[in-house]
Structure 1
């Protein structure tokens, strides 16, 4: 869809997403919500992501901001040279536990967190001259884009796609170090010390790199300061519930908006194929569990196999739908009248129709399950998943087990308890986040932009 002239008096907003499904999905939903409030919205991302703009009914602008990508199944996406090896290294590290995975991510982050800042700056400058937007909405993890907008002095709002601590609220908070841990995952003191040292070194190096780019290209602009904390001075939107124990935010004039979730009011397409799958499974079993570990971690077919085995042995009246990514063929021997295995599943469409979900603690899965009121078992592997699992436990809306120590018995017992005992806080928090969402966030953001 080609960019259209500005409509009415609403601001023209360019929404910039990195080329990752888990980022483009919520941002495109929010882009559609902004358009419904009267903004003239353009969705900018990699060429493979035009469909997200079409589903949101907004214009699309091709924009490349990183060499990495994930179009739905990470291992099946065409990657830059060396990226497949790093993905395999990361997946292998998750088998050794939380600290191993986080240290691997920290090392990778130090290598490619700010790729081609000059090129990104040039592309944003050209885009701004061509489209003349009033505002930008940028993914917080698109650091080169945020730095470019800062250097060019352009007005933007920040969208945080993960746990709110992705925008550090204090000097003590370190990107890549969970602010709290779930009960099932307790790293050693030595492991935590090593992780904090590594994260602090990356934080300092990244901040120096930001400062160098800003001095070279925008010497008259206010220095960007701490790189991981650089965000809009106008508005920061969190795709997350407003749990009262989250780290506080400074009262500095910035609007911090906790939107709860980015689930659209209606899903596109008929969904008949998956209605047939659900009907077939429920003909033989009383309950259905969705098992989906995200676009990267679906490659952990060993964990998916243990979950299926545990469900069959401990909850014989339950069936499973398994999203197995490029490991679907490897798990095909587990398929049967009670187990449906596919490379990908329409997760949002199935939530609310299944009896429970097992997920990895990714923010989209967490907030989508919560918004639908679906009980969840969280298996955190990496990133902000440990912080999310902690919050889910503390709020009483999900249960958690450590995937690096999982066996069939543990999996089966956890699934049986989840299906038999609804987490006590689920109804309250599902109702609360249901009162917010993308339209609520868009209206708050329009208040800032106006």
Structure 2
């Protein structure tokens, strides 16, 4: 099988972990992504197939990644919008989505056809946000499973649900009715235009294929895998024969150590401080150095016994003046490893950060800025897993008080839900996925899914396998 990821580190990381889990169960797996992401396949011990399907990328720190013309300006516009609150950020994302959600569908169709001719997999796993790839697989009539990398509502459960409009909000962030109406209008316009373009592409290139229907809802009829817990209040889905698999998290069973220099950092900080907090706002939002500085100041003033590690991305040099006996600032941190070493984490509500903190049982303060982060923050609050604040109205005193409470009174639901998701994860997910995708509903055991042959570790790339 081929696992297809867009060229974003936050997507390639969990998808490559799932690819490795599928391979451990005997499947012959290739990880298909932009050439810069071959290392993810190597770490997962699976084959690699170079495939580029979008013009923008994020190899770990968004603003440090070489971008196509105009992408840096769009990223800066998005970051600026997050300073003005939730709806401002979501409206900016909605506008950008309307401009390029289906880039080069014909080229993607050609590249997937070429990939299939070279590797001839039985089926694919495709990131749900790789809409051109999903459409290509649909048009070519190829069997695939959908992997949802974010909140489950990224795959709309009903006709009234709109992509880009949170299904629920955390207590600290409650937009007005007027703001929500504006957001719904913008999201509906994008939904309508996107669905029309899907239909036009399918009619032109695959007139015999079934109509793709609503673009944002197009997903595998066989299996949809959510990298998310199965909270009982999530929108229910119709029983239509599709297997909906909530894997809980995509954290490997064993996390390798980051090496001696990093392993010394928590020891050094704990030698002089009673507690340790990690601040990590993700590969995009680490650029909000104003929020990072405010959080460090709040900790220094209100929790002098607490040290902090800051993931600062491309702002590490600008924030180097914050470093000291109780503060370590770095561009990139070994987040999954550190979650097992700290007393609490401050994150942005990204799905990886949320599920990784849950899997490690680490208390969290969530500062949602954009995308599905508001829905994730709502779920984290409702499940008693984290506390939440509005980053656009944050001050040092409020942040310090929230962190003190988080450290002194761990969230009440954390132990329960950490135990529940521990019973799942990537290997559980792979087993369920292999069962759901087995021909004629068969449910294979590990020994039933042995590869017929071992292919080269790296698939050669035909000229058509690269995008512009």
Give the TM-score band, short-chain normalised.
over 0.9
Match of 1:406 in 2: 394
Match of 1:219 in 2: 207
**C-alpha separation in 2, matches of 1:312 and 1:25:** 33
Match of 2:17 in 1: 29
Match of 1:184 in 2: 172
Deviation at 1:267, TM superposition (A): 2.2
Deviation at 1:116, TM superposition (A): 0.1
**C-alpha separation in 1, matches of 2:39 and 2:60:** 13
**C-alpha separation in 2, matches of 1:320 and 1:246:** 34
| Contact preservation (8 Å) 1:55, 1:268 | no
Residue pairs, 1:7-406, within 5 angstroms: 13-406=1-394
**Which of 265-274 and 173-182 deviates more?**
265-274
Match of 1:424 in 2: 412
**Which of 265-274 and 215-224 deviates more?**
265-274
Segments of 5+ residues of structure 1 without an aligned counterpart are: 1-12
Deviation at 1:275, TM superposition (A): 1.6
Secondary structure, counterpart of 1:291 in structure 2: strand
Deviation at 1:90, TM superposition (A): 0.2
Deviation at 1:165, TM superposition (A): 0.2
**C-alpha separation in 2, matches of 1:91 and 1:445:** 36
The RMSD of aligned alpha carbons is 0.6
**C-alpha separation in 2, matches of 1:406 and 1:231:** 38
**C-alpha separation in 2, matches of 1:273 and 1:293:** 22
**C-alpha separation in 2, matches of 1:95 and 1:171:** 31
| Contact preservation (8 Å) 2:2, 2:30 | yes
1:91-117 deviations in whole A, cap 9, x for unaligned? 000000000000000000000000000
Secondary structure, counterpart of 1:381 in structure 2: coil
Secondary structure, counterpart of 1:182 in structure 2: coil
Secondary structure, counterpart of 1:34 in structure 2: helix
How many aligned positions are there? 438
**C-alpha separation in 2, matches of 1:209 and 1:316:** 56
**Which of 70-79 and 262-271 deviates more?**
262-271
**C-alpha separation in 2, matches of 1:329 and 1:264:** 31
Deviation at 1:270, TM superposition (A): 4.6
| Contact preservation (8 Å) 2:336, 2:356 | yes
Secondary structure, counterpart of 2:387 in structure 1: strand
Deviation at 1:269, TM superposition (A): 4.8
1:217-249 deviations in whole A, cap 9, x for unaligned? 111111000000000000000000000000001
Deviation at 1:268, TM superposition (A): 3.4
Segments of 5+ residues of structure 2 without an aligned counterpart are: 439-468
| Contact preservation (8 Å) 2:82, 2:89 | yes
**Which of 260-269 and 168-177 deviates more?**
260-269
Q: Which has the higher contact order (CA 8 A, sep 6+)?
A: 2
Q: With structure 1 as the length reference, what TM-score do the two structures score?
A: 0.97
**C-alpha separation in 1, matches of 2:317 and 2:341:** 26
1:194-235 deviations in whole A, cap 9, x for unaligned? 000000000000000000000001111110000000000000
1:17-57 deviations in whole A, cap 9, x for unaligned? 00000000000000000000110000000000000000000
**C-alpha separation in 1, matches of 2:75 and 2:274:** 38
**C-alpha separation in 2, matches of 1:351 and 1:276:** 15
